[in-house]
Amino acid sequence: MTVVVLGGGNAAGYAAREYVASGGKPGELKIIGEEGVVSYERPALSKGFLLGAAKLPGFHTCVGGGGERQEPSWYADKGIEFRTGAKVTAADLKAKKLTLEGGEVVSFSKLIIATGARVVKLTEFKVPGADLSGIHYLRNVKDGEAMLAAMAQAKEHGQKVVVVGGGYIGMECAAGLVSSGIKSVTMVFPEPGLLGRLLTPELAGVYERLYQEKGVTCVKGAKVTGFTGADGKVAGVQYTDASGATHTAEASLVVVGVGARANAELFAGQVEMAAGGIKVDGQMATSVPDVYAVGDVAAFPLKSVATGEVAHARQEHVTHCRMSAAQAIKAALGLAPPPYDYLPYFYSRIFNLAWVFYGEAAPGATVVHFGDTKEAKCFGALWVSADGHLVGAFLEGGSPEDPAVLKAAVASKAKVDAAKLDASSGAAVIAALKAAH
Q: Could you give the percent of the chain with pLDDT greater than 90?
A: 92
Question: Strands 390-396, 379-384: parallel, antiparallel or unpaired by DSSP?
Answer: antiparallel
135 & 246 share domain: yes
Q: What is the CATH number of the domain that holds 377?
A: 3.30.390.30
Average per-residue pLDDT for the chain: 96
Q: Is the pLDDT of residue 146 over 90?
A: yes
Point out the domain boundary residue: 224, 258, 292.
Answer: 258
pLDDT of residue 427: 85
pLDDT digits (tens, 9 = 90+) for 31-51: 999 999 999 999 999 999 998
Contact 257/169 with Cβ under 8 angstroms? yes
Q: Report yes or no on 177 lying in a domain.
A: yes
Point out the domain boundary residue: 210, 227, 258.
Answer: 258
pLDDT digits (tens, 9 = 90+) for 393-421: 999 998 999 999 999 999 999 999 888 88
- Model confidence at 253, pLDDT cuts 50, 70, 90, reads very high
CA triplet 126, 131, 135: central angle to 5 degrees? 120
Compute the chain's Rg from CA coordinates: 23
226 & 144 share domain: yes
Q: What is the arithmetic mean of pLDDT over 212-216?
A: 96
Q: What is the arithmetic mean of pLDDT over 240-257?
A: 96
- Cα–Cα distance measured from residue 179 to residue 201, given in angstroms and rounded to the nearest whole number: 25
Cβ partners under 8 Å of residue 408, min gap 6 = 437
pLDDT digits (tens, 9 = 90+) for 314-325: 999 999 999 999
Q: What is the arithmetic mean of pLDDT over 422-433?
A: 86
110 & 126 share domain: no
pLDDT of residue 204: 95
Total of domains in the chain: 3
Number of neighbours of residue 88 by Cβ within 10 angstroms: 19
- Cα–Cα distance measured from residue 133 to residue 149, given in angstroms and rounded to the nearest whole number: 13
Q: Report yes or no on 56 lying in a domain.
A: yes
- Residue range of the domain that includes 169: 122-258
Q: Is the pLDDT of residue 216 over 70?
A: yes
pLDDT of residue 424: 81
Buried b (16+ CB within 10 A) or exposed e, 271-292: bebbbebbbbebbbbbebebbb
H or E segment and range at residue 14: helix 10-21
pLDDT digits (tens, 9 = 90+) for 256-267: 999 999 999 999
Q: Could you write out the three-class secondary structure of 171-227?
A: HHHHHHHHHCCCCEEEEECCCCCCCCCCCCHHHHHHHHHHHHHCCEEEECCCEEEEE
Is-above-0.85 flag for pTM? yes
Q: What is the arithmetic mean of pLDDT over 335-353?
A: 95
Q: How far is CA 106 from CA 24, 83, 92, 225, in A?
A: 20, 12, 10, 45
Number of neighbours of residue 60 by Cβ within 10 angstroms: 20
374 & 280 share domain: no
pLDDT digits (tens, 9 = 90+) for 99-119: 999 999 999 999 999 999 999
Q: Report yes or no on 346 lying in a domain.
A: no
Q: Report yes or no on 393 lying in a domain.
A: yes
Q: What is the CATH number of the domain that holds 155?
A: 3.50.50.60
Contact 237/227 with Cβ under 8 angstroms? yes
Q: Is the pLDDT of residue 203 over 70?
A: yes
157 & 146 share domain: yes
Q: At what angle do helices 10-21 and 318-332 cross, to 10 degrees?
A: 40
127 & 253 share domain: yes
- Cα–Cα distance measured from residue 165 to residue 190, given in angstroms and rounded to the nearest whole number: 8
Q: What is the arithmetic mean of pLDDT over 229-253?
A: 96
- Model confidence at 279, pLDDT cuts 50, 70, 90, reads very high
Tell which residue, 355, 374, 353, has the closest CA to residue 424: 374
Point out the domain boundary residue: 286, 303, 332.
Answer: 332
Q: What is the arithmetic mean of pLDDT over 377-382?
A: 91
Q: Is the pLDDT of residue 376 over 70?
A: no
108 & 177 share domain: no
265 & 252 share domain: no
pLDDT of residue 377: 77
